[in-house]
Chain A
Amino acid sequence: MRVSIEQRLERPRWLVVAVPVGSVVAAFLIAAVVLAATGHDPISTYKQLFQAGFLQQGSLTQTLSMATPLAFTGLAAAAAFRMKLYNIGAEGQMYMGTVLGAGAGLYFGGRGGPSVFVIGAMVIGGAVGGAGWALIPGILRAFFKASEILTSLLLNYVAGLLLTYLIFESESYWRQTTGFNATVFPTGKPLPSSAIWPKWVLGVQGGLTLPLGAFFAVACALVLWVAYRRTRFGFEVQVAGDSERAARYAGVRMRRKVLAVMALSGGIAGIGGASYVGDFSHSLDGDPNGLQKLGYGYTGIVVAALGRYNPFAVVLIAFLLGGLDNAGNTLQGANFPAGLVGVVQGIILFSVLGGELLSRYRVRATGRPKPTAGANRGPAKLEPTNSGPLETSGRPAPEVLA
């Protein structure tokens, strides 16, 4: 007997919900076995996990502070991946967003303008920083056909060095240079109060703090959804993502699209950087043990993939993964090695990825293998379903947006 896998022509609606849920359940079951095998009680571990991530006093506030940057980097990845532009540079683009966002906050806040204006300047600064940094791999891809996967990744390291340089190794505009503390250890110049983003406190869990950035993330998701779903631009990006050849045939100007999508993607990551500065760090965080240690840009790719590039799903997944990160941090310690948290997260990712199969393909047991000979329409790379150098699945899933 042999198992054969067939692509589904139509995806039943229930599967779209059932599969991710089923995958997560499966992941928790597999992880439970791992936990038990390593001498940890899965029940109490999971209880702690949910407690720490979502239920316990103040946990949602912390989850939101982890989830907000993730939502931005997730949206950034989704915006680019949709066109099969694999921008994995959201990490560096976010750093550049913090640099220009903090710069705008320090400059305009220092002049005593109204807070709304200063915050607006920070958002624009962040977007410009991120978009500008993303345009480097964009231009290299559009005009030189250099793989944006690697150029964007390599530029993350460069952005990190620049960030550290501005605070640790130079007397830059961003560095605190007055006062004795400034000589003891390098820190960023604190933002003036008009550049600190407002928060709203809800009366749940002893005060749930909603950062302004979280609203901006939802707004970005909305903009992205409208841009990709309701405009000609979005349609063209969709076509270009499905098949570059078809897009060219339809008169889509590919170079412009590549640049626009990279700028959009980097811009969102950059606003995430501005939000990180305005909402949380309140100064440029150049500490190599700070922002650079958190890897929001990389986790954002996972967020985007799990959300299947749907902007609203991305925001939701960012919240869940933010909670998981938050909880993982709470769990780790003397009796729970940090590595186990990564293992459990990895299992969840693998399960969800594997579960995708079930929503895209029908698995059937067949008696005999199908004959291999048959109509071959030429090399796979020319096939519409397998287009692009890094196509990832048979179908790019436009129905998620539909």
Chain B
Amino acid sequence: MKRAKRCLTAVGSLTAMVASLLVGATAPAAQAAAPYKAAWIYVGPHNDGGWSQAQNDGRLYVQKMLGNRVETTYKENIAVGTQFSQTVASLSAQGYKMIFATSYGYVTPQIAAQYPNIKFEQATGTLVSKNVSEYFGAAEDTVFLSGMAAGAASKTGKIGFVVAYPIPEVIRHTNAFALGAQLTHPGATVRIVWTHSWFDPAGERKAAQSLYSAGVDVLGQNVDSPATGQFAESVGVPWVGYDSDSSQFGPKSWLTASVYHWGPYELQQIKNAMAGKWKSGFYYGSIKDGFTSLAPFGPRVSAKTKALILTYEKKIENGTFYEFTGPLYDQHGKLRVRKGVRMQVLNGGTNSLYGMNWFVKGVIGNPNG
């Protein structure tokens, strides 16, 4: 019956369509108070259970907080390059004022210059200009804490870590993870497998399986799908996720994960823009800002480990502890960061968070892929 109705509707709309084509386009109804229009652009599907989904959660948060004062939309699976420019052009034509470009390489100086009236907020990059802000978060802190859980859960001290591409972001997270594991399990090693993809359930599962067959007894990941966890669950091995709370994919294996909360920052920026106070800048969110946090712990994390992790979380929050403080040795035993020196986000070349291209001691794998 419902279907029949739908068909009738279809026929009705068809007639209407023909009529409207004959009559010509009608003017859109005038709106009382125009909501502020902001768009999010995702590199993957909006419900990938990882990166893009976390971004979409940010959008939904903004929409919920501001209600009908904003109008938000998203575009998913948008390729870097021409497709991004095409998307920006159409969003601009539809009157969108602010664009959250949620992947590296989306916004180029050319595009920024071409649309001076659009405020670009780009995640994970470094390009800041008059109308481009960059934002990201210190996930290394929370990844470090999740590494502590992994180290404590390991009996042999051999931990596996599934990683995407050999770039500084991934390398810094791997290093933080290893440092955390070594804190709770001195001498622990972290063995890595590159998947050469940000999101590839089949490849991630294969990577997890090969790490397991190479003898690791805890698995972690810096890729987006929960496939590692599903494998871990199937062989009964503890698992640390990334990006989002995916405990439902491996309830018995789940330890914890570093997660992002993009929403509060995005809300603040939109509010600023609506009030005409928006200024471009480089934002690096932290645990303190509520930008990054640990997902709830799973049953395999002991009370003692939880307490220790929470202690370190507090220390990181109030600045009395920072995992990337010297002395730091690379995987070949060479001293990279001298005692007492704190690594910085942007300054320091390959000894900065954004430039790191070497693995710390205990990571087994090639930082060049």
Asked if A and B touch directly (CB within 8 angstroms), the answer is yes
Chain A residue nearest to B86 (CB atoms) is: A62
- Flag whether A391 is at the interface (Cβ < 8 A): no
B81 CB contact (under 8 Å) in A42, A280, A330: A280
Whether the pair A333, B73 counts as a contact (CB closer than 8 A) is yes
Chain B residues with CB below 8 A from A178, complex form: none
Chain A residues with CB below 8 A from B90, complex form: 52, 56, 59, 62, 326, 329-330
With A43-B20, A168-B166, A184-B354 in contact, do A61 and B75 touch (Cβ < 8 Å)?
no
Chain B residues with CB below 8 A from A52, complex form: 90, 93
**Majority SS at the chain A contact face:** helix
Chain A residues with CB below 8 A from B346, complex form: 180
With A42-B13, A59-B93, A184-B126 in contact, do A66 and B86 touch (Cβ < 8 Å)?
yes
Whether the pair A294, B126 counts as a contact (CB closer than 8 A) is no
- B341-357 vs A: 1/0 string, CB under 8 Å? 00000100110001101
Whether the pair B6, A338 counts as a contact (CB closer than 8 A) is no
Chain A residue nearest to B14 (CB atoms) is: A32
- Flag whether B32 is at the interface (Cβ < 8 A): no
Whether the pair B20, A293 counts as a contact (CB closer than 8 A) is no
Q: Which of A35, A37, A183, A281 has the most CB of B within 10 A?
A: A183
- Flag whether A200 is at the interface (Cβ < 8 A): no
Chain A residues with CB below 8 A from B17, complex form: 32, 42-43, 46
Whether the pair B126, A169 counts as a contact (CB closer than 8 A) is no
- Flag whether B78 is at the interface (Cβ < 8 A): yes
Whether the pair B368, A57 counts as a contact (CB closer than 8 A) is no
Q: Which of B83, B87, B197, B198 has the most CB of A within 10 A?
A: B83
- A298-337 vs B: 1/0 string, CB under 8 Å? 0000000000000000000000000000100110111100
Least CB distance, B339 to chain A, in whole angstroms = 25
Least CB distance, B4 to chain A, in whole angstroms = 11
- Flag whether A347 is at the interface (Cβ < 8 A): no
- Flag whether A58 is at the interface (Cβ < 8 A): yes
Chain A residues with CB below 8 A from B49, complex form: none
Question: Complex Cα distance A214/B165, Å?
Answer: 35
Chain B residues with CB below 8 A from A338, complex form: 45, 76-77
Question: Complex Cα distance A58/B83, Å?
Answer: 14
Q: Which of B82, B124, B165, B368 has the most CB of A within 10 A?
A: B82
Whether the pair A329, B87 counts as a contact (CB closer than 8 A) is yes
Least CB distance, B350 to chain A, in whole angstroms = 7
- How many residues of B sit at the interface, in one of the four size bands? 35 or more
Least CB distance, B172 to chain A, in whole angstroms = 11
Chain A residues with CB below 8 A from B354, complex form: 180, 183-184
Chain A residue nearest to B92 (CB atoms) is: A58
Least CB distance, B166 to chain A, in whole angstroms = 6
Whether the pair B86, A184 counts as a contact (CB closer than 8 A) is no
Least CB distance, A96 to chain B, in whole angstroms = 18
Least CB distance, B181 to chain A, in whole angstroms = 26
Chain B residue nearest to A69 (CB atoms) is: B82
Chain B residues with CB below 8 A from A291, complex form: 79, 81
- Flag whether B310 is at the interface (Cβ < 8 A): no
- Flag whether A144 is at the interface (Cβ < 8 A): no
- B41-81 vs A: 1/0 string, CB under 8 Å? 00101000000000000000000000000001111111111
Whether the pair A164, B86 counts as a contact (CB closer than 8 A) is no
Chain B residues with CB below 8 A from A186, complex form: 165, 167
Chain A residue nearest to B56 (CB atoms) is: A334
Whether the pair B86, A326 counts as a contact (CB closer than 8 A) is yes
Whether the pair A65, B85 counts as a contact (CB closer than 8 A) is yes
- Flag whether A285 is at the interface (Cβ < 8 A): yes
Question: Complex Cα distance A395/B44, Å?
Answer: 43
- Flag whether A185 is at the interface (Cβ < 8 A): yes
Whether the pair B126, A180 counts as a contact (CB closer than 8 A) is yes
Chain A residues with CB below 8 A from B125, complex form: 184-185
- How many residues of A sit at the interface, in one of the four size bands? 35 or more
Question: Complex Cα distance A183/B81, Å?
Answer: 20
Chain B residues with CB below 8 A from A294, complex form: 79, 82-83
With A56-B93, A62-B90, A185-B105 in contact, do A164 and B196 touch (Cβ < 8 Å)?
yes
Question: Complex Cα distance A66/B89, Å?
Answer: 13
Question: Complex Cα distance A294/B79, Å?
Answer: 7
A168 CB contact (under 8 Å) in B72, B124, B165: B165
Question: Complex Cα distance A338/B46, Å?
Answer: 10
- Flag whether B7 is at the interface (Cβ < 8 A): yes
Which residues of chain B from 296 to 342 have a CB within 8 Å of any chain A CB?
none
- A150-192 vs B: 1/0 string, CB under 8 Å? 0000000000000010001110000000001101111100000
Whether the pair B80, A287 counts as a contact (CB closer than 8 A) is yes
- Flag whether A372 is at the interface (Cβ < 8 A): no
Chain B residues with CB below 8 A from A399, complex form: none
Whether the pair B355, A184 counts as a contact (CB closer than 8 A) is yes
Whether the pair A43, B82 counts as a contact (CB closer than 8 A) is no
Chain B residues with CB below 8 A from A383, complex form: none
- Flag whether A394 is at the interface (Cβ < 8 A): no
- Flag whether A288 is at the interface (Cβ < 8 A): yes
- Flag whether A376 is at the interface (Cβ < 8 A): no
Whether the pair A180, B81 counts as a contact (CB closer than 8 A) is no
Question: Complex Cα distance A180/B357, Å?
Answer: 13
Q: Which of A41, A294, A329 has the most CB of B within 10 A?
A: A329
Least CB distance, B305 to chain A, in whole angstroms = 34
A183 CB contact (under 8 Å) in B6, B14, B357: B357
Question: Known contacts A47-B20, A59-B89, A184-B168; can you find 19 more A-B pairs with CB under 8 A?
Answer: A32-B13, A36-B14, A37-B3, A42-B10, A52-B93, A59-B90, A61-B89, A62-B90, A65-B85, A65-B86, A164-B196, A168-B165, A184-B126, A185-B105, A289-B103, A293-B80, A329-B83, A333-B76, A334-B72
A sample of 8 inter-chain contacts (CB < 8 A) reads A32-B14, A36-B10, A168-B167, A169-B196, A181-B126, A330-B94, A332-B75, A333-B73
Interface residues of B (CB under 8 A from A): 3, 6-7, 9-10, 13-14, 16-17, 20, 25, 39, 43, 45, 72-83, 85-87, 89-90, 92-94, 103-105, 124-127, 165-169, 196-198, 346, 349-350, 354-355, 357, 368-369
